Amino acid sequence: MPDSLRFLLIIVVLTGLGYAGAWYLANFPPAPSEVVKALPHDRFNN
C-alpha cells in the first residue's frame, strides 16, 4: 500500500508542476522585442 501512495504522490506533484508551468507561461508571456538583422548588400543586386 505505501508504494502505491508514493506513486500517486509523485504523479500528483508532477501534474501540479506541469499545471503551474502552463499557468506561468499563459499569464506571463515574453516581452516583444525588435529583431534587426543586417542583410548583405549583394542580395539586393539580383
Question: Of all helices (H) and strands (E), which one includes residue 40?
Answer: none
Q: pLDDT (tens digit, 9 = 90+) per residue, 1-46? A: 689 999 999 999 999 999 999 999 899 877 888 998 887 777 676 5
The pTM (predicted TM-score) of the whole model is 0.58
CA distance 1 to 12: 17
User: Residue ranges of the domains in the chain?
Assistant: 1-28
Task: Considering only CA atoms, give the Rg of the chain.
Answer: 24
pLDDT of residue 45: 67
